[in-house]
Structure 1
């Protein structure tokens, strides 16, 4: 790729957005044209549904408050075909919050329900210095998972959806929330997106306009990169005094294997990423055993996570995962098996200092929308569940008081296991912005002292502020064989993605950018959304082709100069076991 090794900063090419108010609607439709609900929960993932489940548990014993909420006491608005359809995580979960929220279900029943796959009894952590070698090391404290449970968050969300509906929630799937309703300085609900528009926005024969959904309280549970969460953060200054949000990208496969894996495995590199600081690459992997209690099948969850701080434009989480699978350690686990699922998702990486303020008049943030992920321990699902429970309790208390004040939730999160655990790792990832070799010892010190050293508050810089160059990481990627290593498009195919070809484009990027920015997007996207035409010039600007119907809603583009907005309701992947 010689001849176009210029450097460019993604932030210099901001996405085209009509105005700061594009995602906010300031006038409500007439009363007879809108839908009124008690509590509107935006996002049917683990955090949003935990909020619904906990609130409905409390309302079940309080008929008076339930009646005051009207015909639809709780509405869950989910853009995927079903709850969990866009949800993906590793995931090995600390079971406490799940046991607290669903005390009537034993861990064996979790497995029989099809969303849990076994308790961790053995584990191993390896350094992989080369493509051939693996050195087993004692598990660092954050990596100790004995007693935790391997789960599928997409399947967990479907279980939570069933409980919510049984409890009286109205779950509205295939419905995107595209604008936040804000009047008199308070959130009043959301506007749902139009359906049945063509590529240029024109109404088609099956056109259905969106609707104002007003609520006494609104919960933003959009996960990573929610458009309304971003609008709320800007509108209400929720990130003032905080560090900027930073992000990571995970790509995951699920394999059916001939022999069971008997332990949970993490690798911490440095291979297959490049260790030199100029590349800015920090990544790691997981390999989790999954025993399907219903079928008896032995499954393996395998994934690669890359910090979106990297500088080499040819960095690709999907291709790094394919490269990692060639390691002898992995081959002996997957050999003779069959890939049955694939997916990708960005996740918040900023931790404690990057968490926005969680409440505003009329609304609050839960789970990944609030940045509640411990990227040292690779844990976020139990924080999603716990935050949803605390949100449900805060909303219930406010409803009992007849108040719109939800500030008690902020304090409850801070004093809970969420605040405690995230505070202990508050300075453990920032040193990696200096590179793996320089930052590693500081990170180890922060882990060993539970955040006491280094003291104070270490800062972040935004991922899109990182200057990008076209390096040589891609030279190590294997050629897909379609049996063991795979290309991006065949991977998208098995997600069940059914976005129609004539849907409007939901991805915002500048179409004419320097080659290095275009290369960044092309390689970064696990779904092959961004293409550079074959006849594009080697130097200067190039036109980017955006194949938005491939999009699996991972959100990584928003970290590197673009913006993901909600697709038409029902579009995107339909994850089953991710």
Structure 2
């Protein structure tokens, strides 16, 4: 039987804002130059936008560059920001930061409260209208390299294997996608991006990437509690002062409010649970008065790259490029990445297009140069120290980061560096006591099973498990013994449980069907023992309006 190979000029992995912007820009350039260019885009969700989760407040700067008439074309940016509030919380109180102290870069005037999933669905329609071939429900399981090591495409995952690896009646083999250039746009901690960065040593000489976990709920609140266009960010309680994090509350249309909590994954205490911190946060008096009498509509979680400029790897490699959060383009101080993702996709598309038209099989190094001279580089340079300051101490770190941005616009002669990856910052459980979290009340706070249900998560149960332990015995001998099995707490979906067998011996159970594809386990596991791989295509969450 001959191997299935599909050939394209460009293959894009990921249907988020970065991948779609790359595809659209490539087709725009081809039309402008009268050139034929075949472009395909693989998306592991059942539909474009199905796995997209973000706050989100969007700066339209890059979208305007990509599609100047986006308003006339019906882009789902319909709620302009009308007011910004920044609050510092104690357990029972809230102090509002005066607006004149807020750095201009953190002001959301001219931005829009959006559902990034809906924006991606709209971008997907535009990409298809331009001739991009989009394949939803097909996960890119691996990169395809030639004998010299250069990337020459990707391989889709097999479908229809049982848990023990046997072919079932609906078995579909892997398909190879050959491409002159491969664009990796998988989002934060992309599994192919991780492999490529490691294989080509793209992060040599860079700070280790750091991450945060964002957990989000969508609520329908009482009309009298709703203020369309209001944007609120908080810092402080309930996280300890040495743990980076905070919340966002975005008042959209139709009495809907997106409320979320971000926890930096560099925290030390293995007993800390980002999910339970979020549920506790909602019982703050300032938050409860918003949510009381409301209805929770949906739930989701996603890791976020937050290392900034110091952690950006090289952006190109033989045969392809990294765009969006696969590289780490996110402005932490603004809690925004969609505009950066779109811009990085546009810059990559221009470099890749010129390379292909010239018949050059080399690396798209022009992408690196284009980024260096772009407004995106300037913006990320301005905010490069923000997370580093706040990771030292949230209160005084906020003051120093604010002064740096407000008074100097980031133009200071120093750059703060991170020396350790997040997983190595986890301390032994012997140094801490377990945290007693309040029991969910089912009205404001909720347990993990009911939350996962709202995410629409679904995986075919009889398939090979996609969460793999590199060294299975270490789940107990190291994680359980030394760290009290923190995977039970950092996972926001209840995937990991420590149970006892018939001899009362502990063992780790992995409930892979609950997986939200947030990638936190791949990031935070102390021994980097958990490897997130792609499940069958279309498996995972199904996020509407997130």
TM-score (norm 1): 0.86
Give the Cα separation in 1 of the matches to 2:71 and 2:396. Answer: 45
> What whole-Å deviation, never above 9, does each CA across 1:23-75 have from its counterpart, x for those lacking one?
xxxxxx97x63111121000111110111111112222344x21xx4xxx110
- Structure 2, unmatched stretches of 5+, are none
Tell me what 1:212 maps to.
Answer: 176
1:314–1:472 CA contact under 8 A, matched in 2: yes
Tell me what 2:545 maps to.
Answer: 577
1:443 to partner: Cα distance: 3.1
The answer to whether structure 1 residue 97 and structure 2 residue 77 are counterparts is no
1:422 to partner: Cα distance: 0.6
Tell me what 1:256 maps to.
Answer: 220
The answer to whether structure 1 residue 356 and structure 2 residue 320 are counterparts is no
1:534 to partner: Cα distance: 5.6
Question: Which 10-residue stretch deviates more, 300-309 or 236-245?
Answer: 236-245
> What whole-Å deviation, never above 9, does each CA across 1:500-522 have from its counterpart, x for those lacking one?
21121111234323425353110
The answer to whether structure 1 residue 529 and structure 2 residue 495 are counterparts is yes
1:78–1:176 CA contact under 8 A, matched in 2: yes
Question: Which 10-residue stretch deviates more, 250-259 or 349-358?
Answer: 250-259
Bigger relative CO (Cα 8 Å, ≥ 6 apart): 1
The answer to whether structure 1 residue 133 and structure 2 residue 90 are counterparts is no
User: 1:19-34 to 2 correspondence within 5 Å?
Assistant: 33-34=4-5
> What whole-Å deviation, never above 9, does each CA across 1:82-138 have from its counterpart, x for those lacking one?
111111111101111112212222189324xxxx340011111111022x2111112
Question: Which 10-residue stretch deviates more, 163-172 or 257-266?
Answer: 257-266
Give the Cα separation in 2 of the matches to 1:315 and 1:87. Answer: 26
The answer to whether structure 1 residue 455 and structure 2 residue 421 are counterparts is no
* Residue among 520, 539, 551 paired with 2:515: 551
Tell me what 1:4 maps to.
Answer: none
Tell me what 2:364 maps to.
Answer: 406
1:473 to partner: Cα distance: 6.9
Give the Cα separation in 2 of the matches to 1:372 and 1:517. Answer: 32
The answer to whether structure 1 residue 288 and structure 2 residue 218 are counterparts is no
1:289–1:301 CA contact under 8 A, matched in 2: yes
Give the Cα separation in 1 of the matches to 2:229 and 2:133. Answer: 40
Give the Cα separation in 2 of the matches to 1:455 and 1:391. Answer: 29
* Residue among 49, 59, 63 paired with 2:30: 59
Tell me what 1:78 maps to.
Answer: 43
2:185–2:324 CA contact under 8 A, matched in 1: yes
Tell me what 2:15 maps to.
Answer: 44
1:286–1:304 CA contact under 8 A, matched in 2: yes
* CA separation of 1:445 and 1:453: change in aligned 2, threshold 3 A: farther
* Residue among 228, 248, 256 paired with 1:299: 256
The answer to whether structure 1 residue 429 and structure 2 residue 395 are counterparts is no
* CA separation of 1:39 and 1:133: change in aligned 2, threshold 3 A: same
Q: Specify the SS of the correspondent of 1:75.
A: strand
Give the Cα separation in 2 of the matches to 1:438 and 1:120. Answer: 28
1:192–1:210 CA contact under 8 A, matched in 2: yes
Give the Cα separation in 1 of the matches to 2:47 and 2:382. Answer: 36
Give the Cα separation in 2 of the matches to 1:123 and 1:107. Answer: 27
1:44–1:76 CA contact under 8 A, matched in 2: yes
* Residue among 159, 162, 176 paired with 2:139: 176
CA-based RMSD: 2.2
The answer to whether structure 1 residue 503 and structure 2 residue 466 are counterparts is no
* Residue among 178, 193, 196 paired with 2:157: 193
The answer to whether structure 1 residue 565 and structure 2 residue 522 are counterparts is no
1:537 to partner: Cα distance: 11
* CA separation of 1:211 and 1:408: change in aligned 2, threshold 3 A: same
1:266–1:284 CA contact under 8 A, matched in 2: no
TM-score (norm 2): 0.91
Q: Specify the SS of the correspondent of 1:97.
A: helix
1:366 to partner: Cα distance: 0.5
Tell me what 1:26 maps to.
Answer: none
Give the Cα separation in 2 of the matches to 1:225 and 1:429. Answer: 18
Tell me what 2:279 maps to.
Answer: 322
> What whole-Å deviation, never above 9, does each CA across 1:169-203 have from its counterpart, x for those lacking one?
11111111111111123210001110011112221
Give the Cα separation in 1 of the matches to 2:458 and 2:398. Answer: 43
Give the Cα separation in 1 of the matches to 2:255 and 2:334. Answer: 25
Give the Cα separation in 2 of the matches to 1:108 and 1:300. Answer: 26
Q: Specify the SS of the correspondent of 1:156.
A: helix
Tell me what 1:464 maps to.
Answer: 423
2:152–2:319 CA contact under 8 A, matched in 1: yes
1:442 to partner: Cα distance: 4.2
1:451 to partner: Cα distance: 3.2
The answer to whether structure 1 residue 365 and structure 2 residue 322 are counterparts is yes
1:445–1:454 CA contact under 8 A, matched in 2: no
Tell me what 1:122 maps to.
Answer: 83
The answer to whether structure 1 residue 274 and structure 2 residue 237 are counterparts is no
- Structure 1, unmatched stretches of 5+, are 1-28, 292-296
1:472 to partner: Cα distance: 5.1
Give the Cα separation in 2 of the matches to 1:487 and 1:457. Answer: 38
Tell me what 1:35 maps to.
Answer: 6
* CA separation of 1:288 and 1:217: change in aligned 2, threshold 3 A: same
Give the Cα separation in 1 of the matches to 2:295 and 2:234. Answer: 25
Give the Cα separation in 2 of the matches to 1:429 and 1:180. Answer: 32
1:383 to partner: Cα distance: 0.2
Tell me what 2:483 maps to.
Answer: 517
1:265–1:286 CA contact under 8 A, matched in 2: yes
1:350 to partner: Cα distance: 0.4
